[in-house]
Every structure is written in structure tokens, then in C-alpha cells.
Amino acid sequence: MSITTRLAWRNLWRHGRRTWLTVGAMIFCNTLLIFLISFQFGVYSLMIDSALSVVTGHLQVQHSEYNDDPRLRYSVPYGIALAERLRSETKIEAMAARGTAFALASSEKRSFGIQVMGVQPTFEPLVSTLPGLVKKGRYLNNNSSDEIVIGSVLARNLKVGVGDEITLLGSGRDGSFAAGVATVVGIISSGMNNLDRSIAQVPLDYFQAVFSMGEQISSIVVNVDTLSAVAERKSELTATINEPDLVVLDWDELQPGLQQAIQADLFSAFVMYAVLIVLVSFSVLNTQLMSVLERTREFGVMMALGMRPGSLARLVFLETATMSLLGLAFGCILGAAVATYFQVNGVYIPGMEAAMEQYNLPGELYPQVSIISVMLGPLIVFTGCMVAAIYPAVRLYGLQPVAAMRAV
């Protein structure tokens, strides 16, 4: 260890209590940042998964025009066969073909506009949580033909229950009149009123028959293991399909609002983090400025011995870096330990159980610890502290040896 390094280290402990207070502020700040960022990442991941798992999925194979203009004619030909091929070639199991159309649903007493989805009852539970949200009756099965499951609000509006019939009226893919009668076998309650007001699912072959789809479908919905695998799977699917009219869209393209909502939340959170980091940086500025001022005489002696102001400034930066590294190391260890504990055991927020259950979310939230969530905050704090040391260091360039040595 060089003399300068030893000097920097020992200078820190001239006022041990002051140094520990500053390092303590850094540790607290770093721990808090690691926990909060990990928690945010965990919540975002849960939000994305929950939002996508209801209907959208992580990826969808569609006609290239369908996402911007969801008409029946922008369809995927031989979609069920294509889904089979993709399932076997890519080894992605969570894949289901769907048809989607808008129709007028009528009961004996009322009529409402709804979104009708033709689904594969065997595969739909792999890409959607809706089959698990049937509160009355049952979900569709492979024997279903003219059966329908509908949202709870829609059932209430239409004044129908399990066993009642609904008439569906709309336009077929070829522009013909589409009409069908289906028996309600289940009522879905997702907790999201907008969805429960408009959702209705029928077997895909029934859908294709009613809406004159032939072998066409609207989309193939795909779920992957983790969000981080989406990009890789997207490339793989695109390469496997190799059809100019078909595209593979990821969740960000399918639900741009979700990413924007996360970015807006991240921004507001980072404003709060910035305030925290600025406060810690000012604490370092205060400590280092005090330290430099009370050592003015010593710095004068060092200059008299032949040390240049630049070397003195480097000494101050070295002291700050050492102190900040202590804060970074202890903060990262403590922060990662706290975040990992809650990643395993979950964070229970009292009073949120009902709201969470409504959205099919677990009662506890789980932080998501990663290299980024552990290092991002502390590295910004470290940088902030180093920036805070600039002013005390720059002051040394104006020091005159004789005047400095006269300082008390």
C-alpha cells in the first residue's frame, strides 16, 4: 500500500464518528435504493405478467396489418396447423390459436356489443388466466361446440346465467351475416370491470363456423418462461414462420400503454431517488469540505515539501472514493440481503389482499433481485459522492503554501 493510500485511509479515521456517520448515510441510502429498485422491478414484472397473462400473452403471431386494424380479413391462414408446427419446432408449449371478432350479444331481454374470442380449450389455459377465473359453471372443453363463457358484468347486464342462451350477431370474414346461438356454460370474474363487461369465449371451431373464417384464425398467442426470454423467442418464431404476411409482435408492441405506465412510474420513483442521492452527496460534501478546511495547515506543509495541488486534490478524491466504497460495499451487502430475504418471503402489504385477489395477484409482492437492481443505485450514489468531492478538491488549487501554513 502506498503512503498516499495509507494517508487517505488514516485521514478518514481522524474523526471516526464523522466518517461513520457519512458512511452510515451512504449505507442507509444504498440499502434503501437496492430494496426499492428490486421491489419496483418485482412489482413491474408481476404487473406485466398479470396484465399479459389475462389475454394478450408475451408474443402474438398475427397478420402484419392486424394489430393496427383488427379486421377479420387480416387473418392467419391455417392458423391451427401453424400453431402445431411452431409448437413442435420451437418446443414452446404455451401457444394457442385464437379468433377474435366483435358481435352483438342478445339475451331474451337485452343486447350488448361484445368481443367474441374463439379459443382452443386445451391450449388456452397455457396462455391465459381467464379459464381459471370461472366463478360459476365451468370453462369450455374439447367436447364444447355451441357453448360460451362470458364475463360476470356482461352476464348481469344481459340478465343471463349458466344454462341460458345467447344469440350472437355480426359480420363474417367474407362480409356475410354471422349469426349463432350459444349456451352459457361458465361465468368469468376477472375483477376488471371493462373486461368482465365485454369478454365472451367460444370454441375456435364454432367461432370459425359462425364468422365464416374457414381455416383462418386471428392470432397465435404465445407465452414464454420469463420476460427476459421474449426477445430471443420472438426471433426464433420469426425465423421459423418465415411468412412475409405474418409478424411476431411482443407484448410491448401489443400493449404499448403498459410500458409507458411503467416508465412514468419509474420516472417519478427516480425523482425521489435523486433527492435521496443529492442529500447523501451533500453530506459527503460537508464532510470533505470540513476535512479539507481543518487540514489547511497540513496541506500547506505538503505543498512546501513539493507536493503539487493536483496531488492534494487526488488525495481528497482518494479519501472520498475510499469512504464511498465502504458505503457501497456495506450498502450492497445489506441491501442485497434485505431484498433477497423479501424476494424469498414476500412483502405483505396490509389492507391490499382484496384488491390483489381481484386482479388474480398473490397477496404478497416479491422484490426481484438482480445485478442491476443491486448495483444501479449504489453506483449512482458513488458517482454523486465523487462529484461532491470536486468542490473541496478544487479549492486546493487556490492554496498558497505560506498562507495555508498560517491557518490554525
Partner 1 sequence: MSALSCNKLTKTFTQGSQTIKGLDDVSIAIAEGSFVCLSGPSGSGKTTLLNAMGGLDTPDSGEILVGDMRVDQMNKSDLADMRLHNIGFVFQSYNLIPVLTAQENIEFVMQIQGIPADQRSAKSREILAEVGLADHEGRRPAQLSGGQQQRVAVARAIVSNPTLVLADEPTANLDSVTATQLMDLFAELNQSRGITFVIATHDARVMEYCRRLIKMEDGKIISDQEQPGRGANV
What DSSP element (H or E) covers 102?
Answer: strand 95-106
CB of 285 to partner 1, least distance (A): 22
Binds partner 1 by CB under 8 A, chosen from 51, 307, 321, 379: 307
Binds partner 1 by CB under 8 A, chosen from 275, 354, 402, 408: 402
Binds partner 1 by CB under 8 A, chosen from 21, 239, 290, 304: 304
Of 260, 257, 262, 396, nearest to 319 (Cα)? 396
Binds partner 1 by CB under 8 A, chosen from 303, 316, 380, 393: 303
Count Cβ atoms below 10 Å from residue 231 Cβ, excluding itself. 13
CB of 405 to partner 1, least distance (A): 7
CB-nearer residue toward partner 1: 199 or 326: 326
Of 27, 35, 26, nearest to 281 (Cα)? 26
Q: Are strands 165-171 and 177-188 parallel, antiparallel or unpaired?
A: antiparallel
Is 298 among the residues that bind partner 1 (CB under 8 A)?
A: yes
Please tell me the distance from the alpha carbon of residue 7 to that of residue 9, in angstroms, as a whole number: 5
CB-nearer residue toward partner 1: 303 or 388: 303
CB of 3 to partner 1, least distance (A): 5
Sites for partner 1 among residues 56-115 (CB under 8 A): none
Q: Are strands 199-203 and 177-188 parallel, antiparallel or unpaired?
A: unpaired
Report the amino acid identity of residue 140.
Answer: L
Placement of cell 390459436 in the chain: 97
Cβ-proximal residues to 274 (8 Å cutoff; 6+ apart), any chain: none
CB-nearer residue toward partner 1: 10 or 73: 10
Please tell me the distance from the alpha carbon of residue 105 to that of residue 98, in angstroms, as a whole number: 19
Binds partner 1 by CB under 8 A, chosen from 122, 228, 311, 358: 311
| Residue 158 falls in which region: left (phi positive, over 0), alpha (psi -120 to 50) or beta | alpha
Binds partner 1 by CB under 8 A, chosen from 51, 269, 301, 334: 301
Sign of the dihedral defined by the CA atoms of residues 160, 165, 171, 172, in that order: positive
Report the amino acid identity of residue 170.
Answer: G
Number of chain positions touching partner 1 (CB under 8 A): 24
Q: Interface with partner 1 by CB under 8 A: which range of 1-9, 212-220, 333-341, 354-362?
A: 1-9
Contact string 3-22 vs partner 1 (x = CB under 8 A): xx-xx--xx--x--------
Q: Interface with partner 1 by CB under 8 A: which range of 26-34, 302-310, 342-350, 374-382?
A: 302-310
Q: Are 115 and 130 in contact (CB under 8 A)?
A: no
Ramachandran angles phi, psi of 167, nearest 5°:
-100, 135
CB of 389 to partner 1, least distance (A): 19
Task: Name the residues that contact partner 1, by CB under 8 A.
Answer: 2-4, 6-7, 10-11, 14, 297-298, 301-309, 311, 400-402, 405
